[in-house]
């Protein structure tokens, strides 16, 4: 009985957290750092100590990735701006920077998709 | 302007310079027999002098190192070699001995200059063609 | 983490080589433009670059490759064919330009190939 109550309470709290973030339920393609952190906290739950430690590490990893993707986007954007304003940027540097930024962003989107998918898989599990 | 093709301003300047040279050469050839000009003297051969020009911009990585130079026509000088004289007694411009001062234009020299000039012109056109090809390939990096 | 995606020695080396190829094209274009200028000495890539690049690749050191800087230098081994001191020979410049364009095509193809491979690895689709 106690175990069943615990699992039910986990489910309830996880669902309430999902309801709080409209971006997730609306399925918007835009993703921000806070969304990803929410996902990571839901996915790891309020579990045992090892789970809590890995939650800290994983959310750090994710926020690091978001920061790096952001840096790449800024670099590409600056390069395009410099090229358009006629400064001395070689064309190939701009093209490669744009392509790298696009690939990094795509990686982040795929990671987010996989996380969502695994969360939904988790929620579908019968108790 | 966006600089798609690296080094294009130098090549454009070279095309301009070669065109000016060709114009001067054709002017020399046209006046190869002009014994009296507006100043009363026979035509004097003109020649161009090329000079390098430091390009203002250097693309990308290159704070150190030599920067590529452009070219321009610095001066169009008259050739100071003496005029040829030919014996044509009945010529209106003949002097007391029947000698006429002809322009110091040597047709063979001018033809050689013309050939060199058009060869360099075509070489610069080939540079532009190659540069365009390189720029199009670069743009294809992002195509997928 | 994102930077590790793009930190293969081959990929970074071909990007650096692309920089050098574009710089070399500018040098050859300037040489051809000045083919008739008296006392002009031809310029080319500094000969140390090739040796440094192959050493950095042999050491498999990405940071070493990334720190290389290709530069132009006056070609000391070129001799003047005419009395006016011009060391440019039009035929060899044109030949070098053709080879340089082929090298450019190779490097661009390698970079595009690497990036599209990364993209298919991330999305799981081949195109």
Selected residues 69-98 of chain A with any CB under 8 Å from a CB in chain C: 69, 72, 90, 92-93, 96
Residue in A103, A108, A110, A117 to test binding to C, most C beta-carbons within 10 Å: A103
Least confident of A5-9, A98-102, B20-24: A5-9
> Which chain B residues are closer than 8 Å to C115 by Cβ?
141, 144
Mind giving me the DSSP string for B46-94?
EEEEEEEEE-S---SS-SSSPPPEEEEEEEEEEP-SPPEEEE-TT-TT-
Selecting from A86, A88, A99 the residue whose C-beta is nearest the C-beta of B141 gives: A99
CB A73 within 8 A of CB A67: no
> Which chain A residues are closer than 8 Å to B131 by Cβ?
none
B3 inside domain:
no
Q: Which residues of A40-76 are buried (b: 16+ CB within 10 A; e: fewer)?
A: bebbbeeeeeeeeeebeebbeebeebbebbbebbeeb
Contacting partners of chain C (3+ CB pairs under 8 A): A, B
> Distance from first CA to last CA of chain C, Å, rounded?
24
pLDDT in tens, B70-109: 899 988 999 888 888 888 888 888 888 888 989 999 999 9
Note the pLDDT of residue B26.
95
Task: Indicate yes or no: CB of C26 within 8 angstroms of CB of B6.
Answer: yes
Task: Indicate yes or no: CB of A96 within 8 angstroms of CB of C15.
Answer: yes
B74 inside domain:
yes
Whether residue A99 lies within 8 A of chain B, CB to CB, comes out as yes
Selecting from B59, B139, B142 the residue whose C-beta is nearest the C-beta of A90 gives: B59
Whether residue A92 lies within 8 A of chain B, CB to CB, comes out as yes
Task: Indicate yes or no: CB of C29 within 8 angstroms of CB of B7.
Answer: yes
Predicted confidence band of residue A57 (pLDDT cuts 50, 70, 90): confident
Mean pLDDT in chain B? 88
Residues linked to residue C44 through DSSP beta bridges, in sequence order: C73
pLDDT in tens, B53-63: 887 555 554 55
B69 inside domain:
yes
Task: Indicate yes or no: CB of C33 within 8 angstroms of CB of B124.
Answer: yes
B45 inside domain:
yes
B67 inside domain:
yes
Predicted confidence band of residue B65 (pLDDT cuts 50, 70, 90): confident
Residues linked to residue B53 through DSSP beta bridges, in sequence order: B70
Task: Indicate yes or no: CB of B131 within 8 angstroms of CB of C25.
Answer: yes
Whether residue C55 lies within 8 A of chain A, CB to CB, comes out as no
Task: Indicate yes or no: CB of C1 within 8 angstroms of CB of A92.
Answer: no
* SS3 call for A97: helix
Contacting partners of chain B (3+ CB pairs under 8 A): A, C
Q: How many domains does chain B have?
A: 1
Does the pLDDT at position C124 exceed 90? no
B137 inside domain:
yes
Residue in A92, A97, A99, A100 to test binding to B, most B beta-carbons within 10 Å: A92
Nearest residue of B to residue C98 by CA position? B130
B63 inside domain:
yes
Please give, rounded to a whole number of angstroms, the shortest distance from the CA of B137 to a CA of chain A: 9
Note the pLDDT of residue B83.
86
Q: Which residues of A6-27 are buried (b: 16+ CB within 10 A; e: fewer)?
A: eeeeeeeebeeeeeeeeebeee
Q: How many CB pairs under 8 A join A and C?
A: 37
Whether residue C19 lies within 8 A of chain A, CB to CB, comes out as yes
Task: Indicate yes or no: CB of A89 within 8 angstroms of CB of B1.
Answer: no
Note the pLDDT of residue A30.
45
B50 inside domain:
yes
Whether residue B70 lies within 8 A of chain C, CB to CB, comes out as yes
Q: What is the pTM of this model?
A: 0.79
| B4 against B119, higher pLDDT | B119
What's the domain range around B110?
8-143
Whether residue C52 lies within 8 A of chain A, CB to CB, comes out as no
Burial of A37: CB neighbours in 10 Å, binned 0-12, 13-18, 19+: middle
């Amino acid at each position: 009985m106690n175990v069943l109550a615990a699992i039910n309470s986990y489910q309830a709290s996880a669902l309430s957290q999902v309801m709080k973030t409209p971006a997730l339920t609306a399925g918007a393609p835009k993703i921000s750092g806070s969304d990803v952190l929410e996902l990571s906290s839901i996915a790891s739950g309020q579990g045992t100590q090892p789970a809590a430690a890995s939650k800290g590490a994983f959310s750090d990893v994710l926020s690091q990735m978001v920061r790096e993707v952001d840096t790449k986007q800024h670099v590409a954007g600056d390069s395009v701006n410099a090229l358009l304003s006629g400064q001395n940027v070689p064309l190939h540097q701009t093209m490669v920077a744009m392509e790298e930024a696009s690939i990094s962003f795509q990686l982040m989107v795929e990671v987010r998709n996989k996380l969502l998918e695994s969360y939904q898989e988790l929620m579908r599990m019968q108790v | 302007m966006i600089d798609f093709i690296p080094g294009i301003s130098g090549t454009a300047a070279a095309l301009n310079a070669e065109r000016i040279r060709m114009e001067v050469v054709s002017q020399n050839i046209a006046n190869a027999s002009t014994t009296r000009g507006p100043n009363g003297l026979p035509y004097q051969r003109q020649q161009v002098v090329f000079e390098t020009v430091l390009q203002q911009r250097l693309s990308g990585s290159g704070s150190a190192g030599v920067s590529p130079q452009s070219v321009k026509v610095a001066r169009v000088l008259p050739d100071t070699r003496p005029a040829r004289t030919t014996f044509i007694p009945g010529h209106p411009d003949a002097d007391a001995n029947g000698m006429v001062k002809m322009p110091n234009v040597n047709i063979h020299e001018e033809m050689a200059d013309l050939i060199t000039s058009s060869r360099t012109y075509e070489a610069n056109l080939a540079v532009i063609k190659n540069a365009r090809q390189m720029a199009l390939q670069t743009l294809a990096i992002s195509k997928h | 983490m994102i930077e590790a995606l793009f930190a293969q020695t081959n990929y970074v080396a071909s990007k650096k080589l692309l920089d050098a190829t574009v710089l070399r094209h500018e040098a050859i274009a300037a040489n051809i433009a000045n083919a008739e200028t008296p006392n002009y000495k031809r310029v080319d890539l500094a000969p140390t670059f090739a040796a440094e690049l192959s050493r950095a690749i042999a050491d498999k050191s990405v940071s070493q490759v990334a720190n290389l800087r290709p530069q132009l230098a006056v070609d000391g081994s070129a001799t003047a064919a005419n009395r006016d001191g011009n060391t440019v020979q039009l035929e060899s410049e044109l030949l070098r330009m053709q080879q340089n364009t082929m090298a450019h095509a190779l490097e661009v193809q390698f970079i595009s190939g690497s990036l599209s491979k990364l993209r298919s690895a991330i999305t799981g689709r081949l195109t």
